[in-house]
Amino acid sequence: MNSGADLEKYLHDKIPLTVAMGVRVAECDDTHLILTAPLAPNRNHLGTAFGGSLHSLATLSGYSLLWWLLRAPDAHIVIRQSEIRYEKAVTGELRAFCRAPDADELAGFRRDFARKGKARLSLSAMIEQDGVLAVQFRGVFVAVAAKK
Amino acid sequence: MNSGADLEKYLHDKIPLTVAMGVRVAECDDTHLILTAPLAPNRNHLGTAFGGSLHSLATLSGYSLLWWLLRAPDAHIVIRQSEIRYEKAVTGELRAFCRAPDADELAGFRRDFARKGKARLSLSAMIEQDGVLAVQFRGVFVAVAAKK
C-alpha cells in the first residue's frame, strides 16, 4: 500500500461499513493518520454523531495507521480492547486523528513482529469539534504475521 | 414505544447506520434486550465481524434497553464512555445481549431522572459466539429529560 488512496480503497473493499459511513483517508504518513466521515450517514436520534460511528472511525484510524507503519500488507491486525470517552457532541464532519507512537515504541513493536511474528501496540486517537476535544479513544491492537 | 418492532423502526428512522448494519431487535422486555445484525455488511478484512460493528451493536443494545426501561420517549439518552474487550472473533451473526440492571439500581436511576431531570447508569452487554463469550462491553449512559 503506497498511498492514502490505496488505503481508502482497501478499507472500502474489505470493510463494507466504511462505505456506508463514507470514510475517507484525509491524511496519512509516518507521523499520523486522519480519517473523516460526513455527519449525515453517521447521525443519531439527536442529529449529532452516533457514538458507534465515532468509535468505529477512531478504531479504523488506529488500525489503519498501524497497518501503514507495519509495512506488511499480509499481516493480520485486530483490536483486542479499547476505551472511549465522549466529552462533547460532534455536530459536523467526523474527523479522527491518530498519532504514531514514539520511535522507541514503534521500534519495539517492529522488533517483536519480526522475531515472534506477533506484536501488540496501544494507540490513541481523538476527535475534535471546532478545535475542542470531543472524543478520546485508546485501543490495543495486535498484529500477527500471515502464515506462509 | 410499545414493542420491539416500534423500537426497531425508531432505530432505523433515527440512526441510519442501523439500516446499513441490518440491526434487528430480536428480544426486548424489562429484563433484557437482544439486538442482532448479519455478518455480511459488518465483516472486516478477515471475514469476521468488524470491531466497530460489534461496539456499535453493544452500544445500541445498552442505549435501547435504557430507553425501553425509562418509559420517557422524549428523553435524550447519550453514551458518556465505554470499554470493550474483544475475546474471540465473531464469525456468524452478531448478537448483543444487554441485561437490565438490578431493581435497586434501576429504581435509583428512575428516581434521579424524576427529581433532577438527569440520571446516569452503567450497563453491560456481551456478544457470544457458539455459546462462548466473544465480546464484553460496559458503557455509561446518561438520560436527560426533554426541555418543556
Cell of B101: 440492571
Q: Give the pLDDT score at A3.
A: 77
* Residues of chain A positioned with their CB less than 8 A from the CB of B42: 16-17
pTM above 0.90, yes or no: yes
Confidence of residue A75 (pLDDT cuts 50, 70, 90): confident
**Residues of chain B with a CB closer than 8 angstroms to some CB in chain A:** 10, 14-17, 20-21, 40-46, 50-53, 55-57, 59-60, 63, 76, 78-86, 89
For residue range B74-130, what is the model confidence (pLDDT) as tens digits?
889 999 999 999 999 999 999 999 999 999 999 999 999 999 999 999 999 999 998
Instruction: Kindly state the average pLDDT of the residues A133-137.
Output: 98
Instruction: Kindly state the average pLDDT of the residues A87-94.
Output: 97
pLDDT over 60 at A1, yes or no: no
Q: Give the pLDDT score at B5.
A: 87
Q: Is B140 exposed, middle or buried (0-12, 13-18, 19+ CB in 10 A)?
A: middle
For residue range B29-54, what is the model confidence (pLDDT) as tens digits?
999 999 999 999 999 999 999 999 99
Q: Give the pLDDT score at A141.
A: 97
Q: Give the pLDDT score at B75.
A: 87
Q: Pick the residue with more confidence: B118 or A70?
A: B118
For residue range A10-44, what is the model confidence (pLDDT) as tens digits?
999 999 999 999 999 999 999 999 999 999 999 99
- DSSP for chain A? --SHHHHHHHHHHH-HHHHHHT-EEEEESSSEEEEEE-SGGGB-TTSSB-HHHHHHHHHHHHHHHHHHHHT-TT-EEEEEEEEEEE-S---S-EEEEEEPPPHHHHHHHHHHHHHHSEEEEEEEEEEEETTEEEEEEEEEEEEEPPP-
B117 Ramachandran zone, left/alpha/beta (phi>0; psi -120 to 50): left
Q: Give the pLDDT score at A117.
A: 94
Rounded to a whole number, what is the largest CA-CA distance in chain B? 49
Contact between chains at A15 and B45 (C-beta distance less than 8 A): yes
CA distance A82 to chain B (A): 5
| CA–CA distance, B78 with B141 (Å, rounded to integer) | 6
pLDDT over 90 at B132, yes or no: yes
Cell of A77: 491486525
Confidence of residue B1 (pLDDT cuts 50, 70, 90): low
Q: Give the pLDDT score at A114.
A: 92
Q: Cα B143–A97–A85 angle (5° rounding)?
A: 25
Q: How many percent of chain A have pLDDT more than 90?
A: 86
Q: Give the pLDDT score at B37.
A: 98
Partner-chain residue, chosen from B14, B82, B89, that has the shortest CB–CB distance to A84: B82
Q: Give the pLDDT score at A144.
A: 94
Contact between chains at A81 and B86 (C-beta distance less than 8 A): yes
Q: Give the pLDDT score at B3.
A: 77
Q: Give the pLDDT score at A36.
A: 97
Q: Give the pLDDT score at A125.
A: 98
Contact between chains at B81 and A83 (C-beta distance less than 8 A): yes
Instruction: Kindly state the average pLDDT of the residues A125-148.
Output: 93
* Residues of chain B positioned with their CB less than 8 A from the CB of A46: 76, 78
pLDDT over 80 at B148, yes or no: no
